[in-house]
Amino acid sequence: MPQEEDELIRKRQRERSRMLAILLGLFVVLMFAITIAKLGINR
């Protein structure tokens, strides 16, 4: 595989991993907020 293509693959993987990490972080925050909101409603 040409080096250029290998670098492109790595770059795409890095960008996607970064984006996935951000989305997962936001999802955790959202689930926490939903839990707190639901606990508040059901109290």
Partner 1 sequence: MTSVPLTRDEQLPADWRDLLALTKPRVMSLVVFTGLCGLLAAPGPVHPVLGFTAVLCIALGAGAAGALNQWYEADLDAKMKRTAKRPLPAGRMSRQTALHFGVGLAVFSVILMDLAANHLAAAVLAISILFYVLVYTVWLKRRTAQNIVIGGAAGAFPPLIGWAAVTGDVTALPILLFAIIFLWTPPHFWALSLFVRTDYANAGVPMLPVVAGVQSTRRQILLYTLPMIAAAVAPWALGLTGWVYGISSAILSAIFLVLSFAVFANKATEPKSMGPEKKLFAFSIVYLFGLFAALVVDRWLV
- R_g of the chain computed on alpha carbons: 19
Nearest approach in angstroms of CB 8 to partner 1 is 7
Q: Between 9 and 28, whose beta carbon lies closer to partner 1?
A: 9
Nearest approach in angstroms of CB 15 to partner 1 is 6
C-alpha count within 13 angstroms, C-beta hemisphere, residue 42: 6
DSSP 32: H
Point out which residues bind partner 1 (CB under 8 A): 5, 8-9, 12-13, 15-16, 19, 30, 33-34, 36-38, 40-41
